[in-house]
């Protein structure tokens, strides 16, 4: 479990992260979302004790991470796939990490097999593609078999097969009872990966809730209706409490279900040639909420 409490980080005059409070629970995949520059990486570095918070606290498993003498058995992390020395082989890189944390040598081979890098184990990392480096980073995160795992943009550079593999892996890790915290700037990546979301914008918390709750916060879903008698239909729908607006010759109706609209049109004998429900995407919810935060921080003008 990761507990972030009132976390603030200032670099000189700029505030990268402001009064962030949220909890990441074990047993699920929690997505950490925000546009580029929202303060995700800064937050992750503070969780890992690499950066000192200006104020506030962050604990992993009840203790600040920096208090622990060795980290890999507590938290496995992949902050940046490029945070490796290109001159070493994958095997040497992992062996050095394992040795420092008193992790048996065979774990190195195990994680290399797990991420599919056995054949590249004795090649120098400098020649790796980004996707291979991501796999190596994931291997190092898994090395200590930790209860908490943190990944910063792990899907970058992975091919579709790799993306699917990573998603399955995250779900499995969460199902094993681990805390899995994954950052991304793309909502679409999280849609099929995360159960919970922590959303930040401009360093401030926007939402910390389940994926379902989050998507409900965006524009409510609406129903598109096409009819040759729209002028007659409009007042009937608004009388039922719906909000309507014209959109490309169709009527966008919010506040009524498609079934209810069907009943109304049938009762009044209004011909309908189009009736479709349109769910708001998470992407829209995300854009809307982060745009709000940007507007708020810019001083209320847009």
Residue 5 binds another protein, judged by CB under 8 A: no
Whether 17 contacts 7, CB under 8 Å:
yes
Rg (CA), the chain: 24
* Stretch in the footprint of another protein (CB under 8 A) among 12-20, 127-135, 190-198, 238-246: 190-198
> For 289, phi and psi rounded to 5 degrees?
-70, -40
Nearer to another protein, 74 or 238 (CB): 74
Residue 251 binds another protein, judged by CB under 8 A: no
Q: Whole-angstrom Cα distance, residue 29 to residue 58? A: 19
Nearer to another protein, 251 or 282 (CB): 282
> Least distance from C-beta 70 to another protein, angstroms?
5
- Residue among 37, 100, 235, 271 that touches another protein (CB under 8 A): 100
Tell me 284's DSSP state: H
Q: What six digits make up the tokens of 128?
A: 């790796």
Q: Whole-angstrom Cα distance, residue 87 to residue 147? A: 31
Sheet strands side by side (includes 204-210): 75-78, 148-152, 179-184, 29-33, 196-201, 204-210
Q: What six digits make up the tokens of 178?
A: 């681990």
- Residue among 87, 129, 235, 292 that touches another protein (CB under 8 A): 87
User: In 3D, which of 138, 149, 170 has the Cα closest to residue 74?
Assistant: 149
> Least distance from C-beta 236 to another protein, angstroms?
33
Nearer to another protein, 219 or 238 (CB): 219
- Residue among 12, 13, 69, 231 that touches another protein (CB under 8 A): 69
> Least distance from C-beta 75 to another protein, angstroms?
7
Q: What six digits make up the tokens of 196?
A: 């919970």
For the segment 157-186, give every residue that binds another protein (CB under 8 A): 170-179
**Would you give the end-to-end CA distance of the chain in angstroms?**
38
Q: Whole-angstrom Cα distance, residue 212 to residue 60? A: 26
- Residue among 195, 203, 256, 293 that touches another protein (CB under 8 A): 195
For the segment 231-250, give every residue that binds another protein (CB under 8 A): none
Whether 194 contacts 27, CB under 8 Å:
no
**SS3 label, residue 89:** strand
* Stretch in the footprint of another protein (CB under 8 A) among 68-76, 248-256, 259-267, 288-296: 68-76
Provide the β-strand partners of residue 23.
Answer: 3
For the segment 270-299, give every residue that binds another protein (CB under 8 A): none
- 101-140 footprint of another protein as x/- string (CB under 8 A): xx-x--x--x---x-------------------------x
Residue 230 binds another protein, judged by CB under 8 A: no
Residues touching another protein, count (CB under 8 A): 75
Residue 6 binds another protein, judged by CB under 8 A: no
Q: Whole-angstrom Cα distance, residue 228 to residue 249? A: 10
Residue 19 binds another protein, judged by CB under 8 A: no
> Least distance from C-beta 74 to another protein, angstroms?
5
Secondary structure string (H, E, C) spanning 163-211 = HHHHHHHHHHHHHCCCEEEEEECCHHHHHCCCCEEEEEECCEEEEEEEH
> Least distance from C-beta 33 to another protein, angstroms?
14
């Amino acid at each position: 479990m990761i507990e972030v409490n009132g976390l603030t980080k200032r670099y000189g005059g700029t505030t990268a992260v402001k009064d962030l409070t949220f909890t990441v629970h074990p047993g699920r995949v929690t997505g950490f979302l925000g546009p580029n520059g929202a303060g995700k990486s800064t937050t992750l570095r503070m969780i890992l004790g690499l950066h000192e918070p200006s104020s506030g606290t962050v604990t992993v498993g009840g203790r600040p991470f920096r208090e622990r003498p060795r980290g890999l058995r507590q938290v496995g992390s992949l902050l940046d796939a490029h945070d490796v020395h290109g001159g070493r082989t994958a095997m040497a890189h992992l062996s050095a990490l394992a040795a420092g944390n008193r992790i048996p040598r065979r774990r190195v081979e195990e994680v290399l097999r797990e991420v599919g890098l056995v054949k590249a184990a004795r090649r120098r990392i400098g020649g790796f593609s980004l996707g291979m480096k991501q796999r190596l980073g994931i291997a190092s995160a898994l090395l200590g078999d930790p209860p908490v795992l943190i990944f910063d943009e792990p899907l970058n550079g992975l091919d579709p097969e790799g993306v699917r593999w990573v998603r399955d892996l995250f779900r499995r890790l969460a199902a094993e009872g681990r805390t899995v915290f994954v950052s991304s700037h793309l909502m679409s990546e999280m849609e099929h990966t995360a159960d919970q979301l922590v959303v930040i914008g401009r360093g401030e918390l926007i939402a910390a809730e389940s994926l379902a709750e989050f998507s409900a916060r965006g524009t409510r879903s609406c129903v598109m209706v096409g009819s040759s008698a729209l002028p007659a239909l409009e007042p009937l729908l608004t009388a039922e409490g719906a909000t309507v607006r014209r959109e490309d010759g169709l009527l966008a109706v919010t506040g009524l279900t498609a079934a209810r609209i069907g009943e109304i049109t049938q009762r009044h004998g209004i011909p309908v040639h189009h009736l479709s429900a349109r769910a708001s995407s998470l992407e829209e919810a995300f854009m809307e909420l982060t745009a709000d935060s940007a507007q708020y921080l810019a001083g209320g003008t847009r």
